[in-house]
């Protein structure tokens, strides 16, 4: 996409559109951050109207800035409103951006562009088809200090770029509609991608939840890039003091952007280098030097940039494509975190004390770090990748591949020629028959990288998977379910269900012992009784029931 959108830039009274010197923008969402956007739009003479779900908030902003309070539908229908700025809750971004684009408006939207990569890509295509401006509010790309830092990197002031890391830490504001990764990290990821000039080929992340089971309070995200550079982002809202620092390391020097410092000290250059003596690297330290940067408010610069893009029909620095790139990193990091400590991750039962009888055949390979439980056996030519956790008393057959970052519970039996890919979790007592197949992407292509599309698969306690069965990613196999040999499972399987065929369908019920239940739902081996509780669900009847 070229910088110029190729749209008519002026319009005479005979019918063509005229873009005013300062395009008027309607502000939608006047809450915690929206009020700051409103202030800057008003100060730049570009505020056309205000809109908020709470009429009292909208009326207060209207009185403060002298712009009418209007309803969302009215703004979309008004041809005099050329553009909208959206600062509503993140879950509303995608549908509101779509409505605005369809209505012919240029759009500025606060990060993130959407919550799903697919939705964001659709918005980018829609904006392109309609010839509309779409800009994402990645504020720090408009900070004069970051722009100066980027210019210095581009000019070779610190030599070849090697490593970038950022920290964004504070005590609160703690949110419940998004975790710390989505709240704090997008700005840093945006800056890093801008510096690197390419998307990462690897993204890994870890997170910790302290205040809520489903919302991460701290995360560390690591990115590796095709050109050899690396970066990491550490964010937390459980930190004793505020820290907002970007450190850029080059072969000839280092730059530090510390946004908590006074303006004159926000950007500091270090001429540090490394000298090799007899094959040993020796650091050469230099004095720190503050870099002078003309002062301006970043948010004002950002809004001015949007208004200029609307006026001149040019592509924003943080356009929709840039928003998608950031979203892809967030999505990959989130999936990585969830694979390690989400609801899909089942804790392995505590090991039996006093045991260490793990057996690994001499032809098998176990990468570090991996956790193999007591009493487990790994047989010929199997490969256990890093990050795998295998419980106690498991049997891993010949030519099995597990990992990376796969969890296997206690007392599991995995027969020959089975691969458990990242995203698969086996609870205790799972049986995987010979050559059964797990997928992790729905529509793989050899020439297209789709690691960010891995879907988790959860196999609940006591499940049996027959030989040559295929388990399509993203499903849950319920407790003690039984997957017949050769079946292809593409949707969730209820507990105790016996499924067979392509695609797999329920053909009966099985009990805890793996025997098919009779018409009275009684196990012929153990006599345990079950009952149909509706909606394709089965429960065991208590002995005294």
Residues 245 and 307 in one domain: no
Residues 194 and 49 in one domain: no
DSSP 175-217: -SSS-HHHHHHHHHHHHHHHHH-S--SEEEEEEE-SS-TTS-S
DSSP 470-487: EE-TT-EEPTT-EE-TT-
Give which of 36, 47, 125 is closest to 87, Cα–Cα: 36
Q: So what's the pLDDT on residue 176?
A: 64
**Which H or E run contains 63?**
helix 55-65
Report the alpha-carbon distance of residue 280 to residue 317 in Å, rounded.
42
Q: So what's the pLDDT on residue 18?
A: 39
Q: What are phi and psi of 106, to 5 degrees?
A: -75, 150
Residues 286 and 308 in one domain: no
Please report, for the domain that includes residue 96, its CATH number.
Answer: 3.40.50.720
Report the alpha-carbon distance of residue 117 to residue 108 in Å, rounded.
18
Residues 286 and 154 in one domain: yes
DSSP 306-349: HHHHHHHTB--TTBHHHHHHHHHHHHHHHHHHHHHHSTTPPPPP
Q: So what's the pLDDT on residue 20?
A: 46
Q: So what's the pLDDT on residue 32?
A: 85
Residues forming a β-bridge with 243? 169
Q: Is residue 388 one of the residues assigned to a domain?
A: no
Question: How far is C-alpha 376 from the chain's CA centre?
Answer: 34
Report the alpha-carbon distance of residue 530 to residue 202 in Å, rounded.
48
Residues 102 and 203 in one domain: no
Residues 125 and 179 in one domain: no
Q: Is residue 349 one of the residues assigned to a domain?
A: no
Long-range CB contacts (within 8 A, 24+) of 472-476: 472/439, 472/442, 473/423, 473/438, 473/439, 473/440, 473/441, 473/442, 474/442
Residues 313 and 256 in one domain: no
Q: So what's the pLDDT on residue 269?
A: 94
Residues 213 and 274 in one domain: yes
3-class state of residue 22 by DSSP: coil
DSSP 74-87: HHHH-TT--EEEE-
- Percent helix, strand, coil in the chain, to 5, is 25, 30, 45
Q: Is residue 415 one of the residues assigned to a domain?
A: no
Give which of 19, 166, 98, 44 is closest to 320, Cα–Cα: 98
Residues 81 and 220 in one domain: no
Q: Is residue 440 one of the residues assigned to a domain?
A: no
The domain containing residue 249 runs over which residues?
142-295+331-340
Q: Is residue 436 one of the residues assigned to a domain?
A: no
Q: So what's the pLDDT on residue 23?
A: 60
Q: So what's the pLDDT on residue 209?
A: 81
Report the alpha-carbon distance of residue 511 to residue 500 in Å, rounded.
16
228-283 pLDDT tens trace:
999 999 999 988 889 999 999 998 899 999 999 999 999 999 987 666 666 666 67
Please report, for the domain that includes residue 178, its CATH number.
Answer: 3.30.360.10
List C-alpha distances in Å: 292 to 296, 477, 482: 12, 60, 69
Q: Is residue 498 one of the residues assigned to a domain?
A: no
182-225 pLDDT tens trace:
989 999 999 999 999 999 998 988 888 888 777 888 999 999 99
Q: Is residue 394 one of the residues assigned to a domain?
A: no
Residues 163 and 289 in one domain: yes
- Residue-level pLDDT, tens digit, the chain, 545 residues: 333 333 333 333 334 333 445 568 999 999 889 999 999 999 999 999 999 989 999 999 999 999 999 999 999 999 999 999 999 988 899 999 999 999 999 999 999 999 889 999 999 999 999 999 999 999 999 999 999 999 999 999 999 999 999 999 988 776 666 788 998 999 999 999 999 999 999 898 888 888 877 788 899 999 999 999 999 999 999 888 899 999 999 988 999 999 999 999 999 999 876 666 666 666 777 788 999 999 999 999 999 999 999 999 999 999 999 999 999 999 999 888 876 643 333 333 333 444 457 889 988 888 878 888 888 999 999 999 988 889 888 999 999 999 888 999 999 999 999 999 988 999 999 999 999 999 988 888 877 777 667 788 999 999 999 999 999 998 999 999 999 999 999 999 999 999 999 999 999 999 999 999 998 999 988 889 999 888 788 888 865 44
Q: What are phi and psi of 223, to 5 degrees?
A: -130, 135
Query: How many domains does the chain divide into?
Result: 2
Q: Is residue 61 one of the residues assigned to a domain?
A: yes
Residues 47 and 186 in one domain: no
Residues 271 and 286 in one domain: yes
Report the alpha-carbon distance of residue 88 to residue 416 in Å, rounded.
53
Q: So what's the pLDDT on residue 13?
A: 36
Burial string for 114-133 (b: 16+ CB within 10 Å, else e) reads bbebebbbebbebbbeeebb
- The torsion region of residue 45 among left (phi > 0), alpha (psi -120 to 50) and beta comes to left
Q: So what's the pLDDT on residue 354?
A: 43
Q: So what's the pLDDT on residue 540?
A: 85
């Amino acid at each position: 996409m070229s910088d110029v959108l190729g749209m008519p830039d002026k319009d005479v009274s005979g019918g063509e559109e005229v873009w005013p010197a300062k395009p008027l923008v309607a502000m939608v969402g006047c809450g915690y951050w929206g009020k700051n956007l409103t202030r800057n739009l008003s100060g730049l003479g570009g505020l056309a109207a205000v809109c908020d779900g709470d009429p009292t908030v909208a009326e207060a902003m209207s009185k403060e800035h002298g712009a009418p309070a209007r309803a969302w539908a009215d703004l979309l229908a008004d041809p005099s409103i050329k553009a909208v700025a959206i600062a509503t809750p993140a879950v509303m971004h995608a549908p509101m951006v779509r409505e605005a684009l369809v209505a012919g408006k240029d759009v500025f939207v606060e990060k993130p562009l959407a919550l799903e990569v697919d939705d964001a890509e659709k918005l980018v295509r829609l904006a392109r088809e309609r010839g509309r401006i779409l800009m994402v509010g990645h504020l720090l790309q408009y900070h004069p200090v970051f722009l100066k830092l980027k210019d210095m990197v581009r000019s070779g002031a610190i030599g070849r770029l090697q490593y970038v890391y950022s920290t964004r830490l504070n005590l609160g504001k703690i949110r419940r509609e998004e975790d710390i990764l989505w709240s704090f990290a997008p700005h840093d990821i945006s800056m890093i991608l801008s510096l690197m000039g390419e998307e990462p080929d690897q993204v890994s992340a870890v997170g910790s939840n302290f205040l809520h089971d489903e919302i991460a309070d701290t995360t560390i995200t690591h990115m590796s890039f095709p050109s050899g550079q690396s970066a990491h982002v550490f964010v937390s809202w459980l930190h004793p003091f505020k820290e907002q620092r970007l450190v850029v390391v080059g072969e000839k020097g280092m730059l530090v952007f510390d946004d908590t410092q006074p303006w004159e000290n926000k950007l500091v250059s270090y001429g540090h280098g490394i000298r090799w003596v007899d094959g040993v690297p020796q650091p050469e330290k230099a004095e720190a030097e503050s870099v002078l940067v003309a002062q301006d408010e970043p948010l004002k610069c950002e809004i001015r940039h949007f208004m200029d893009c609307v006026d001149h029909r040019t592509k924003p620095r943080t356009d929709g494509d840039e928003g998608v790139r950031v979203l892809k990193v967030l999505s990959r990091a989130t999936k990585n975190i969830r694979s390690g400590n989400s609801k899909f991750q089942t804790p392995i039962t505590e090991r039996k004390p006093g045991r260490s009888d793990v057996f690994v055949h001499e032809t098998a390979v176990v990468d570090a770090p991996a956790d193999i439980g007591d009493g487990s056996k790994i047989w010929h030519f199997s490969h256990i990748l890093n990050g795998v956790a295998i419980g106690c008393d498991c049997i891993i057959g010949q030519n099995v591949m597990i990992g990376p970052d796969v969890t296997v519970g206690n007392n599991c039996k995995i027969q020959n020629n089975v691969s458990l890919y990242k995203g698969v979790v086996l609870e205790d007592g799972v049986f995987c028959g010979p050559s059964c197949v797990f997928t992790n992407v729905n529509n793989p292509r050899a020439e297209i990288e789709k690691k960010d599309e891995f879907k988790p698969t959860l196999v609940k306690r006591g499940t049996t998977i027959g030989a040559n069965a295929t388990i399509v990613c993203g499903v849950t196999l319920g407790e003690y379910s039984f997957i017949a040999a050769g079946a292809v499972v593409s949707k969730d399987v209820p507990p105790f269900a016996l499924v067979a065929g392509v695609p797999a369908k329920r053909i009966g019920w099985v009990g805890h012992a793996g025997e098919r239940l009779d018409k009275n739902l009684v196990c012929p081996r153990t006599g345990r009784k079950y009952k149909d509780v509706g909606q394709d669900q089965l429960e065991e009847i208590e002995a005294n029931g």
